[in-house]
Chains A and B, each alone.
Chain A
Amino acid sequence: MSTTLSRGQFDNRLLREYFLDDAYDEMFAVDGSIRPHYVALLDLLASLPREELQRRKQSADVSFLMQGITFTVYGREEGTERIFPYDLIPRLVTSAEWDHIERGLTQRITALNVFLHDVYHEGKILAQGVIPREIVYTCQHFRRQMRGLQVPRNVYVTVAGTDLLRLKSGEYVVLEDNLRVPSGVSYMLTNRRIMKRTLPYLFRNYGVRPIEQYPQALLSTLRSIAPEGRPEPTIVLLTPGVYNSAYFEHTYLARQMGIELVEGRDLVIHDNIVYMRTTGGLKRVDVIYRRVDDDFIDPLAFRPDSILGAAGLFNAYRAGNVTLANALGTGVADDKALYAYVPAIIRYYLNEEPILNNVETYILSDPAQRQHVLENLDKLVVKAVGESGGYGMLIGPQSTAAEREEFQRRIEANPRNYIAQPTLDFSRSPCLFDDGSVEPRHIDLRPYILFGDKVTIVPGGLTRVALRKGSLVVNSSQGGGSKDTWVLG
């Protein structure tokens, strides 16, 4: 069922291609009326001539390029840099919606942190059978080296980026928790800066809650988890280096926080103390905001072929002389199979009902559930538990018979490695295209949660857009873009 909007109220070309169907539309209610908080935005879009809209979009694009806000696609001699596609129409979140999201995320991060502590210490939740042991112990991100290790304030996940979707009913649900090294926050911050320059009047009239304090909040969160007895901790950001696709973000955050951006080769560990090599000699390091995966952090403790980490770092960490944020081994809590148990985790530790629900998820190591999934592959989405970035995925309704057979083989060979979820018709938001028309596209939302001495969530997040028509994949590697997210005051 698809209806075209009546053209009466707005300029024909603006909404000519706008369609509504079962999916939740952020701008229009089911009956075609405009949601109240979008009226001023749509009025402005309708009042600006097409050329003016295009001009502003172009000037936003140029700003991104000139500021070097780019992804790097690396060749032999010449680095080519692409901008992350950007949509000019902001996504609006009402104050009431945000309060709900904020409470839900705070609850979730709190429970997951307690869970991580439990898993790496007594393991009560496993002993009581709330979660099957094999889900935890077969997880490729479980780090047995973390057993019994004490982390400051018992904080495992310092920075989380949780992906939310909006269902047909308008309910926000959690699609996945990113608890290892979530990225994208620099795009949230730069989207906002460019938006303010591109549509300043609109911005002022809407009363948008600020997000610019994020780097400062991150810095004080990191400071709060410094090892004891280090009142003026030296904090650094550890990057895999210039070839990493998120290198721009690493340099951006380091600059915004005023901390040193280091690579593994800058670090020296002696007597379980971490130092960085500076021209003024060795300088002690207390907190490492690491953007290097667990596997690569220390060739002595993990992958011996890694050149991105520093030898001896894990022992210094074990000795409590340095804090790593996030802690190692947090990936066990964002495993796609464990995800299905997060509501149970919240109930178990906090004795509360989850405020934000999960998407219904089938565990394929369970024979009954597996049977159901294999019979309905054409209707479901299948995901490999260890993959991210939109790879290793089967979207049933858009798949071919050959692809489904291939996934059936893979699932049967290694059921623990896959989960299945219903194909979600998640919400759509208006997007502006180069010809000046506005069309709806699917979006998600990734707010960033900081957890140190307290939980801090800056109001907003990265809204990712599946810019290709009909696409459900928002990842930048697969034709996704982003837009600014305005949480209204």
Chain B
Amino acid sequence: MLSRVADSLYWTARYLERAEHAARLVDINVGLMLDLSRVSAERRWKRVLAALGHPRDIEWNNDVYSLVHTLVFDTNHPASVTACVIAARENARQIREEISTEQWQRLNHLFHDISRLRPLSPSDRQLSEFLPVLIDGVHLFQGVTDTTLSHGEGWQFLQVGRFLERATASATLLAVYHEDVFANMEETVDAYTYLEWIGLLRVCTAFEAYCKVYTADLTYERILEFLLLDAEFPHSIRFSIDRLHESLEAIEEESHGQNASELMRVSGKLKSSLGYAQVSEIRAQDPARYLRGILDQCRLIHDLIYEVYIQYSVQTALAM
């Protein structure tokens, strides 16, 4: 497979995952503001911005709806939900012949839907229509991808993009919540705190899945364990890294001849550390540091993917 094609597949998946995550984060926080809360609007939205990795040139400006409008619709900001969908479509367009017609149509559909629903001025009414359409659209694209595209190298690069983005987003989110919510936690958990915790789980579509495992009793330790270490829940960091590692193994096998040993070592090490970790240990040490460590390793994996498959130097490649 051409390196350029692999690159475009990787970014198509990453941008869509990013759009979905940002959409859910905004949607749920807008919803949480409807309830009486001890969390001020400023604190809430600064937390959202931190969870999105502090997008450049977007600041809290004391106006929730204008901020939300920017985060969702403003195409001048590359971090906005709409800009992510456009970027995903542009990447897919460059490799039109590599993806299935169904995938392309689905992505086009999503693009036209959001263009149609995009409001001209900030207003919450359109938001409640827009975000579910967007999230559904991304899910449909993933379904169509899994059922119409051969699960060969191209599909594996889509998986890599999707799960690396998901692990990064979840680790960032948990780190932000740890600092802002859990670090200053009081002894007794009241209704207000409970609501914030439900919010965190729902951003990861994890509330129902959590309840199935632990019942509706929310504790910090269990939430951390579930979102970080659960082996079966698709939005947990461990699950994401497991899928990422599997796909990297499949790619290594297919593109024999490339020296991927360092990449496999780093991703294998991260996979193992999550597989054998215990939440009590992580809590006893410093959860924020642990999460930042995961983020560093995700960045390193990204760099190594580029070094091995996409932007390798000609000299290295010729020497092999």
Interface residues of A (CB under 8 A from B): 67-68, 77-79, 241-242, 247, 251, 254-255, 260-263, 265-266, 268, 270, 276-282
Of the candidates B93, B97, B317, B318, the one whose C-beta lies within 8 Å of that of A255 is: B97
**Contact A281–B258 (Cβ < 8 Å):** yes
B152 to chain A, nearest CB (A): 11
Contacts of B3 in A (CB 8 A): 266, 277-279
Closest to A271 in B: B318
Determine if B148 is an interface residue (Cβ-Cβ < 8 Å).
no
Closest to B4 in A: A266
**Contact B4–A268 (Cβ < 8 Å):** no
Closest to B260 in A: A279
Contacts of B312 in A (CB 8 A): 277, 281
Contacts of B258 in A (CB 8 A): 279-281
A401 to B217, CA, bound (A): 88
Q: Which size bracket describes the interface of B in this complex? A: 20 to 34
A270 to B314, CA, bound (A): 8
Of the candidates B2, B101, B153, B257, the one whose C-beta lies within 8 Å of that of A276 is: B2
A279 to B252, CA, bound (A): 9
Task: Give the contacts of B84-127 with A (CB-CB under 8 A).
Answer: 86, 93-94, 96-97, 101, 104, 111, 115
A328 to chain B, nearest CB (A): 24
Since A279-B3, A279-B6, A279-B254 are in contact, a sample of 13 more A-B pairs with Cβ atoms closer than 8 Å, ordered by chain A residue number, is A68-B101, A68-B104, A260-B2, A265-B4, A277-B4, A279-B1, A279-B2, A279-B153, A279-B258, A279-B309, A280-B1, A281-B257, A281-B320
**Contact A242–B317 (Cβ < 8 Å):** no
Determine if B75 is an interface residue (Cβ-Cβ < 8 Å).
yes
Of the candidates A79, A251, A270, A278, the one whose C-beta lies within 8 Å of that of B1 is: A278
Contacts of B86 in A (CB 8 A): 77
A450 to B86, CA, bound (A): 40
**Contact B96–A251 (Cβ < 8 Å):** yes
Contacts of B138 in A (CB 8 A): none
- 16 CB < 8 A contacts A-B: A77-B86, A242-B96, A247-B96, A251-B96, A251-B97, A261-B97, A263-B4, A266-B3, A277-B2, A277-B4, A278-B1, A278-B2, A279-B153, A279-B309, A281-B317, A282-B317
Determine if B255 is an interface residue (Cβ-Cβ < 8 Å).
yes
A270 to B93, CA, bound (A): 30
Contacts of A255 in B (CB 8 A): 97
Contacts of B320 in A (CB 8 A): 281
Digit string of B225-262 for contact with A (CB within 8 Å is 1, else 0)? 00000000000000000000000000100111110000
**Contact B93–A79 (Cβ < 8 Å):** yes
Closest to B115 in A: A78
